Amino acid sequence: MNTHKTPRFSARKKNKDHMTLLLSSEAFQADVKLLRERFNIHKGGNTQDGAQLAWLSLNAPQMYEYVKAVSDLARAYQVPGNFGRHLKTYIEEGIVSNPVNRFDVIPPNPLNPSLTVQMHAKLTRDEKEDTLAEVDRVGEALMAYGTIKDLPDLLESERLYGECEQYNTSKDREYILTVKEQDPRNTDRHYENMRVLRKKRNERFGIK
């Protein structure tokens, strides 16, 4: 059963108004016109069928320079970070769109196993609740862990096993040393402690 709240997107209208206000500015439109001319984008954007794909193919060599120019434009007009993708789409294709939130919740990935929350403007109470709801939803993918019961005792068992291995692999070994010889009354406990340690390390760190 899904217990997560349905996203409300409380900032959708505010973000739409913010983008509309920006796009209606003559100063901004003049800068967009110059940027389109500089990078061979059709007047009004690449709106014809196939125009955007053709433009991407022809302008691949200067794409880094283009992306930097768009970033500079966004910075000049103090555009929040989550508007960047929408601004780029407008410049290239003439498509008007806007973010639905004032925050981003970035899910974990192989390169960054942590969940990242980015706020792009001050949040209202409703927007804060939206943020927490989205964190709960996306956070299901994160690993859950807590304290480990009797960790010092577990590590003491590991130390005993380590002593045995160190002695048994030394050139001065005279016999096979076992944990049972070192602590005969607690052999089963030490064995179980090692099993728990292996399990915990595998769950948390992928260590076999």
Element (H, E) at 119: strand 116-119
pTM above 0.75, yes or no: no
Rounded Cα distance, 102 and 125, in Å: 12
pLDDT of res. 1: 45
pLDDT of res. 193: 96
Give 134-186 as a DSSP string.
HHHHHGGGS------TTHHHHHHHHHHHHHHHHHHTSTT--S---HHHH-GGG
pLDDT (tens digit, 9 = 90+) per residue, 53-99? 999 998 888 999 999 999 999 999 999 989 999 999 999 999 999 99
pLDDT band at 5 (very low <50, low <70, confident <90, very high): low
